[in-house]
Structure 1
Amino acid sequence: MSRTYGTFETLRQQNAVLRDTVALNSGIQLAAWFNQNDTVTVQSDHHTLSLYVADGYESYHKTPHGWKNGGGPDRFCLMPKESESSWDIRDNLSFVHLYCTDEHLRDIGEKIWDRSPASFRLDEKTFASDDKITALYRHFLLDCDWQQQANQLALSSASTLLMTHLIQHYTNVQWQLPKVTGGLAPFVLRNVLAFIEENLAQPLTLADLAQQAALSEYHFARMFSQSMNMAPHQYVMQRRMAKAQQLVRHTAMPLTDIAISCGFSSASHFSNRFKSSVGMTPSQLRAASQ
């Protein structure tokens, strides 16, 4: 499902340059921006998590006591729905936004904790620091091409982890995460692994895999990791690379077709990922195998 996010549309009408954006299957949207020499006021019916990627030292936020700065790489801001905030960007700023609604947070709350308040009230934060948020967005969000369908699983995993962290630490409920012990039941694991093998060409998400196990994304990810000793997105990429190697070595299938059959929508992205995993490009491996 897709929706329009007010903050996203406001920035598009300003000096901000949209570098990348992706709508995840849940309806959550990510956007990578660059801005400079701009003043922006935002008020919307959704929540925005803003992550500073580079610069931002001369970004000022309007407070009752005047304009205050404190930005910089790895700082984050939380702008809850219906809050109004004004910003004066006086120098370069590269940042990533995650847009979500109360419904998104409530859905995660119901699936992980089996309960939900009337609404989640997010704390407003400006120029704050959180090592967990930094690690998640730098490792997941900035480390992959958003437009490649093969990366949808990593992106959906990161967004779920980020919102789970927000519920834990920056809302009116601050629920503690339930303990998850043990892995997936053997028959459930077999079904999930078979589903993955049958759908390597598809842009798999964490929700797709969790649905096969009838679990929340949070519980599934942790139980899968205990069963397989790796995260779901790591396992899926491993299987894609194994299938690709098999097809490169033992068939005459065109490399572009192999890329598509292994879930990559770009031959160049497939080649780069393949070389990173195998140590040589698909064409080099094919030549060496003949």
Structure 2
Amino acid sequence: MTDDRFEVFDSLRQHNTRLLDHAQLGNGTGLAAWYNERDLIALENADHHTLSLYTADGYQSYFKAGDGWHNGGGPDRLCLLPQQYSSTWDIRGPLSFVHLYFTDQHLRQLAEQTWDRSPLNLSVNERLFADDPQIALLYRHFLLQANWHDNSDQLTLSSASSLLLSHVLRHYTQVNWQLPGVTGGLAPHQRQRVCDYIEAHLDQPLPLAELAMQCQLSEYHFARMFKRSVGLAPHQYVMNRRLALACELLRNSQISLQEIALRCGFSSASHFSNRFRQAMGVPPSGYRSSVS
């Protein structure tokens, strides 16, 4: 990781843990996918929080408590490790897992933006081998389905991480505030402004915070008001607009698929082709042939 440094990430790299993928999400958050087996790991006093989801195996993952070793791991089990938390792990069998790292400053900022007030204290509760279907759903259907390095998926990643951390705030801290209700959509001028901004920047990553800024709203309020106004979540709308532009360029130009991919916000022609085929039922080259 190049921008934010995460101590748990750095510590795991000193062990047998094999790094499968990692990405910076910005604002003090990051992702890492790992595989491990037959390893003894001590994690101490990290200056950030870690939300871990077991994605495969983990049945022989043991945590050292005061009365000995305990396990309870398995697919979709989560571990939430607060900052300044020390723990020792004995990984006796195969384990695949994904970490979301986030700073206390980012979590507090999210709370202030969402509820328009600041918690007097903010402490994250430890959880080990816990079940939370909402967290598992957000990991598997958004974080794990996205390409962490493609510009076109950055909005999906930022939206999913925002939802995850809002869930952590509500269920794993002492804040316990009800989420504010959102009854209306964007004002016409807000909708026009953000839609124009999206059209002018389809070749850019367009993270959720950037779109919310166009309407001077928190990420939480913007995402819900946008969906109420447009009928689609921001990441769905933006992907539709990227693919619509791609169709136009395929019909009316002879530029290469790589150039079309870049103009539509995809970092590679292969990722563009995969997404186009999923949405349209044919690859871009097939679509171009059919309309030429």
Normalised by the length of structure 1, the TM-score is 0.98
172, 177, 180: which is aligned to 2:179? 177
The answer to whether the aligner puts 1:200 opposite 2:217 as a matched pair is: no
Aligned identity (percent) is 55
- The alignment of Structure 1 onto Structure 2 pairs a total of residues equal to 290
Distance 1:70 1:89 in 2: 12
CA contact (8 A) 2:28 2:103 kept: no
Amino acid across the alignment from 2:263: S
Moved over 6 A (4+): none
| Matched-pair contact (CA < 8 Å) for 1:102–1:119 | no
Please tell me the root mean square deviation across aligned C-alpha atoms, in Å.
1.0
Q: Secondary structure at the match of 1:249?
A: helix
Letter in 2 for 1:111: Q
Aligned mate of 1:226, from 221, 225, 228: 228
Matches within 5 A, 1:144-159: 144-159=146-161
Amino acid at match of 2:21: D
Alpha-carbon displacement from aligned partner over 1:227-262 (angstroms, at most 9, x marks no partner)? 111100000000000000010011111111000000
- 1:186-197 alignment runs, 5 A limit: 186-197=188-199
- Secondary structure at the counterpart of residue 26 of structure 2: coil
What SS does the aligned partner of 1:24 have?
strand
In the other structure, the counterpart of 2:19 is 18
Which residue among 236, 239, 248 is the counterpart of 1:237? Answer: 239
Superposed displacement of residue 197, structure 1: 0.3
In structure 1, what is the equivalent of residue 141 of structure 2?
A: 139
Query: Which one is further off, 169-178 or 53-62?
Result: 169-178
Of 261, 276, 280, 2:278 maps to 276
CA distance in 1, matches of 2:160, 2:122: 20
Residues 54 and 93, structure 1, Cα contact 8 Å, conserved in 2: yes
Q: Residue 249 of structure 1 aligns with which residue?
A: 251
Counterpart of 2:211? 209
Confirm whether residue 34 of structure 1 aligns to residue 43 of structure 2.
Answer: no
Letter in 1 for 2:31: L
- Residue matched to 2:49: 47
Q: What residue is the counterpart of 2:269 in the other structure?
A: 267
Q: Which runs of 5+ in 2 are unaligned?
A: none
- The Cα of 1:118 is off from its aligned counterpart by 4.5
The CA distance in 1 between the partners of 2:139 and 2:259, in whole Å, is 32
Aligned-partner Cα distance in 2 for 1:180–1:2: 34
Secondary structure of the residue aligned to 1:244 is: helix
2:188 & 2:48 partners in 1: Cα distance? Answer: 40
Aligned residue in 1 for 2:167: 165
Report the 3-state secondary structure (helix = DSSP H, G, I; strand = E; otherwise coil) of the residue aligned with 1:230.
coil
| Unaligned residue ranges in structure 1 (runs of 5+) | none
1:68-87 CA-partner distances (Å, limit 9, x unpaired): 00000000001000110111
